[in-house]
Amino acid sequence: MIAAECEPWAKTGGLADVVDALARALGRLPRRPVEPVDVFLPRYRSIAVPAAAVARTVRVPDPAALGGTTGIRVVDVPGDGYRLRLVDHPPAFDRDGFYGDAGGDYPDNAWRFGLFCRAALETLRTDGRPLDVVQIHDWHAAPAVLFRDRWYADDPIVGRAAAVATIHNLAYHGWTPRERLGELGLAPGDALASGEMFLPADADGLDLLRAAIERSELVNTVSPGFAIEALTPDYGMGLDGALRAKGDRFFGILNGLDNALWNPATDGDLVAHYSRRSLKGKAEDRRDLLRRVGFDPDDRGAVLGMIGRLDPQKGFDLVAGAADRLVERGARLVVLGSGHPEQLAGLRALADRRPDRVALIEAFDRVLARRIYAGIDLFLMPSRFEPCGQGQMIALRYGSPPIVRRTGGLRDTVVDELTEPGEGTGFAFDDATPDALVAACDAAISLYERGGAPWSGLVRRGMAVDFGWETGPAPRYLEAFERAVAVRRG
């Protein structure tokens, strides 16, 4: 695997969780790969290298270096069921942010991640052991498949490897403008593959994600629902045509959840443990959360929580537009998020006026996130689009029924109690508007206030859903890898 994030070393979103959990799950399958999974990750400034790590230097073609090559240190770190391989090159990765800073994306990202992919391929080539599949995650790893076809086509190790491109977020393409193509070792008119595909001489630049879609043997996204949506102009982010052209070699595999990592019966960050069979501890976690955020722990009014990256995709603006009416309804809001602060402008003003009803925490806090999942009554996830998402899965696991917009992976993972009464696990709405969100919240709060068997049944059904990696996604990925090898070899 080649990825820009991997939990717990580097994370901004769900990509990191998936890379780590999938790598571990593959190693635990009964039909496990012959060799352990390798995960290549940039060694960012925030990553400390363990003392037991083993390092070596590989020479890598580098368009920015005098002489055309540079030495890059690759540090092997034993992971939990896989080998982490840190690509350590301070000029590229010893920076404040992974992808950019307060001023925006780093302008040399094509060079940074191109060099990262080159280092991964050169390491694999010089390892000398057979290589079946390279799984590339999102645009940051896309140069790997271009380089495979452009410079390694005849290499007996890298050239024979199949590529599986896994798309976690179609909104980010890794667009490389014409003047930056040299950072990838390319120029307009150059071959992108041996005698097959060329970059037009008048090209404005290169869409790295599109190129990876076109060159990979198989392409998948992280839920069947989003795979269908991505084929349409409304959700394809300009890549729907390239995805349609893949035919049945583009599909969705629903993300999983690490049931050992996310378990309210064993979670060390909670003041009390609970399970589907005994929910008593959840009431204690609820009181603990309310005290921490400054709410009255004896108030039985519904507590709604939201956790996520502050991005227009996630629907924070819908929550801001609905917040006044939800507070009037008697609800309280706990919102935890980091990213673009302008997404919280409306909520911030309400939190200042009503600190007894709205708690706004602008931070990335793993421990508090767990306490929110356990301590709230209902979880908000009104995404405008959602390839899969894990927040709703965690909320179900922690007995906090989610209120979601009916899109992508949210549609695949939450059964709407309003349309399937007695069988639902949460609540769903269609329109990306504050009014639609308020209506769904009102129905959810009403059921919560009535309590009794209908409410406890809803909670327990959600907690019973098994999203475990080993039981679903990991075997599907192994099948995809085998199919990709077959496509590559004949």
Using the predicted structure, report yes or no on whether residue 33 has a pLDDT greater than 70.
no
pLDDT value of position 326 = 95
In this prediction, residue 194 has a pLDDT band, given cuts at 50, 70 and 90, of low
DSSP-assigned states of every residue in 420-459: STTT-SBEEE-SSSHHHHHHHHHHHHHHHHH-HHHHHHHH
Angle at 481 between CA 479 and CA 483, to 5 degrees: 70
In this prediction, residue 81 has a pLDDT band, given cuts at 50, 70 and 90, of confident
Q: Rounded to whole angstroms, how far apart are CA atoms 91 and 108?
A: 11
Residue closest to 310 by CA, chosen among 342, 349, 350: 342
In this prediction, residue 269 has a pLDDT band, given cuts at 50, 70 and 90, of very high
Using the predicted structure, report yes or no on whether residue 221 has a pLDDT greater than 80.
yes
pLDDT in tens, 292-341: 999 999 999 999 999 987 777 889 889 989 999 999 999 999 999 876 77
Using the predicted structure, report yes or no on whether residue 178 has a pLDDT greater than 90.
yes
Residue closest to 251 by CA, chosen among 273, 274, 230: 230
In this prediction, residue 350 has a pLDDT band, given cuts at 50, 70 and 90, of confident
CB contact set of 83 (below 8 Å; sequence gap of 6+): 36, 37, 38, 39, 76, 77
Q: Rounded mean pLDDT of the chain? A: 93
Q: Rounded to whole angstroms, how far apart are CA atoms 130 and 128?
A: 7
Give the three-state DSSP class for 171.
Answer: coil
pLDDT value of position 349 = 86
Radius of gyration of the chain (CA): 23
pLDDT value of position 196 = 61
Residue closest to 35 by CA, chosen among 44, 43, 27: 27
Q: Rounded to whole angstroms, how far apart are CA atoms 214 and 227?
A: 16
pLDDT value of position 61 = 94
Using the predicted structure, report yes or no on whether residue 195 has a pLDDT greater than 60.
no
Choose between 447 and 490: higher pLDDT.
Answer: 447
pLDDT in tens, 386-421: 999 899 999 999 999 999 999 999 999 999 999 999
pLDDT in tens, 115-165: 999 999 999 999 999 899 999 999 999 999 999 999 999 999 999 999 999
In this prediction, residue 34 has a pLDDT band, given cuts at 50, 70 and 90, of low
pTM above threshold 0.85: yes
pLDDT in tens, 355-395: 999 999 988 898 999 999 999 999 999 999 999 989 999 99
Q: Rounded to whole angstroms, how far apart are CA atoms 207 and 226?
A: 21
In this prediction, residue 13 has a pLDDT band, given cuts at 50, 70 and 90, of confident
